[in-house]
Structure 1
C-alpha cells in the first residue's frame, strides 16, 4: 500500500511539473526578415513569465504563434501537451477557448456596450446559458476587475485603464487556463499601470492562471513576473528572476534595468 501511495504522489508531482506551454526551436520569417531564429521556452503551471526585448525583437509575434494567429516556419508549440502547429482548425479552436489573449488596445467592439461586449463572447462559446446566467456571469467578472459601474457604458466613454480592465474581463469571462498579455500597461500613466499590474497578479492567484506577459514596462515586469526572459536576435538570450537579471554580468542585459 505504501508503494502505491508513493507512486501516486510521484505521478502527481510529475504531472504538476509538466510545462503548460513548451516552445521548441521556433523559426519564423516574413520574406527575407528572419524574426524568430530558434526560440525555446517553457512556462510552468501557475507561473507568470515575462518576456522582454527591444522593439521588433519578436516578443508579441511569439505569443501570437501560441494561439495560431501566425503560422510558423519551423518548430513545435506544445500547449497542454499538444503541438498546436499540427492541429486542424476545429482542434485549434478547442484549444483557443482555453487561452485568453489581452491585446494592446483591448480590442473592444466600439458599437457595443460593455455588457454586450462581454455577453457576445460568452454567448458565442456557451450557447446553453440562459440570459439570466449570462447577466450573472457578466456582473461577476466585472466585479473581479472592479468595474461593475461601467456595465452600460460604451468603449468611447472609458479611459485607457478602464478599457484595459474591460478587455481583461472579456478575456476572463471564458475562464481561460492560460492568459497571454500583450503590453498590458502600454500607454497608461504610472498609477494606472500599477493598478493593472496588481490586477494581473490578483488574477493569477484567484483563477490559478498560467501567463506570458509581454512588456517594456520594467515596473510591470518586476511586479508581475515570477521569471523573466529576454529575447535578442530571434532567440532567448537571458533568463532568470528580476533580481538575477538586474545583477547580470552581461552589460546588454543590465541595460534593461537602468
Structure 2
C-alpha cells in the first residue's frame, strides 16, 4: 500500500494523536471457497472521514458488515471503541450499534410512515423518549439540518431520490451517533444533488464531530468529504492517502480512478 509512514497498512503522522475509534487488523472474510477480504487493515480516528473506493464486488460493504458485527471475520481483528466486536454479547453489540449511524443506499425509510414518524421511531424505540415536545424539537432540528423541514409530513413516496437520502440522513443523525457509516450515499442522484449530499456529509462531520467511513464510487463525493481515501482491489487495500496524493499516484489501478479528474 502506498503511504509515507505506515502502521498496520495505514498512514499516520507524528502529530496526529487522535483516538482510534475503529481498528481493523488482518481482516479476512471468506464465503465458502470465495475469499472476499484477503488482508484488510484500517484505523479510523476520531473526527475523521475515510472514503473507501473500489469497484463492485471488491468487498467494500463486507468490511462495514464486519465492523458492525453483522458478519464474523474468518480471520483477524475488528475493534470498535477499543473492544473486539466478535467477543461482544448480544446486549453489548446492541449498545455499540446505538453509537453508530448507518446510511443505506436506499435511505431505508418506512414507506407507510411520514417523514416525521420515520424520525420519531428511533427516538421512541431506541432512546425511549416520551416527552412529545422534546421529540418534536429533535425531529425538526434534524430535518432543518438537512434542509428538509418542509417535507416533515410527507410520505417517502412523495419525495425525490435526493430528498429520501436527506430524510434517511436526518433519521440517522437524530440519535447523535459517534460513528457514521455511509454506503454509496450518492448512488442514483444527479450531479447537483450528489454534491449537496456530499456537502451534508462534511457538515455533519463538523457539526456532530462524527468519525465516518464512506463507501462510494463517486469521485466528487470522495474529493469533498474525505480526509483520507483508501482504494480497494481484489480484497485488499492497495493505496491510501489524501485525495490529492492519490491523484498523483503512478499506480495504474489508482490512476484509473482519476482519469476524468482535472
| Category of TM-score, reference length = shorter chain | over 0.9
Unaligned runs of 5+ in 1: 1-12
Alignment of 1:132 onto 2:133: yes
- C-alpha distance in structure 2 between counterparts of 1:168 and 1:57, whole Å: 25
**In structure 2, the residue corresponding to 1:17 is in which secondary structure?**
coil
- Contact 2:180/2:213 (<8 A) preserved: yes
**In structure 2, the residue corresponding to 1:187 is in which secondary structure?**
coil
- C-alpha distance in structure 1 between counterparts of 2:258 and 2:15, whole Å: 35
Match in the other structure for 1:91:
92
By how many angstroms is 1:16 displaced? Answer: 4.9
Match in the other structure for 2:217:
216
Per-residue CA deviations over 1:185-210 (Å, capped at 9, x if unaligned) read 00000000000000000100111000
- C-alpha distance in structure 1 between counterparts of 2:15 and 2:129, whole Å: 36
Single out whichever of 149-158 and 126-135 deviates more from structure 2: 126-135
Alignment of 1:32 onto 2:33: yes
Alignment of 1:254 onto 2:258: no
- Contact 2:123/2:129 (<8 A) preserved: no
Per-residue CA deviations over 1:30-55 (Å, capped at 9, x if unaligned) read 12211001100101110000000111
Q: What TM-score comes out, normalization by structure 1 length?
A: 0.92
- Contact 1:51/1:229 (<8 A) preserved: yes
Per-residue CA deviations over 1:96-153 (Å, capped at 9, x if unaligned) read 0000000011100001110111111110112143122111110110011110011100
Match in the other structure for 2:19:
18
Match in the other structure for 2:205:
204
- Contact 2:129/2:135 (<8 A) preserved: no
- Contact 1:114/1:150 (<8 A) preserved: yes
- Contact 2:52/2:231 (<8 A) preserved: yes
Match in the other structure for 1:77:
78
Match in the other structure for 2:67:
66
- Contact 2:49/2:226 (<8 A) preserved: yes
- C-alpha distance in structure 2 between counterparts of 1:228 and 1:181, whole Å: 14
**In structure 2, the residue corresponding to 1:223 is in which secondary structure?**
helix
Q: What TM-score comes out, normalization by structure 2 length?
A: 0.91
**In structure 1, the residue corresponding to 2:20 is in which secondary structure?**
coil
**In structure 2, the residue corresponding to 1:249 is in which secondary structure?**
coil
- Contact 1:113/1:155 (<8 A) preserved: yes
- C-alpha distance in structure 2 between counterparts of 1:141 and 1:154, whole Å: 17
Match in the other structure for 1:180:
181
Q: Which runs of 4+ in 1 moved over 3 A?
A: 13-16
- Contact 2:30/2:37 (<8 A) preserved: yes
Two-structure CA RMSD over aligned residues (Å): 1.5
**In structure 1, the residue corresponding to 2:186 is in which secondary structure?**
coil
- C-alpha distance in structure 2 between counterparts of 1:214 and 1:86, whole Å: 26
By how many angstroms is 1:77 displaced? Answer: 0.9
Q: Structure 1 residues 16 and 95 mapped into 2: Cα distance closer, same or farther (>3 Å)? A: farther
Unaligned runs of 5+ in 2: 1-13
Counterparts of residues 119-198 of structure 1 (less than 5 Å): 119-198=120-199
**In structure 1, the residue corresponding to 2:167 is in which secondary structure?**
helix
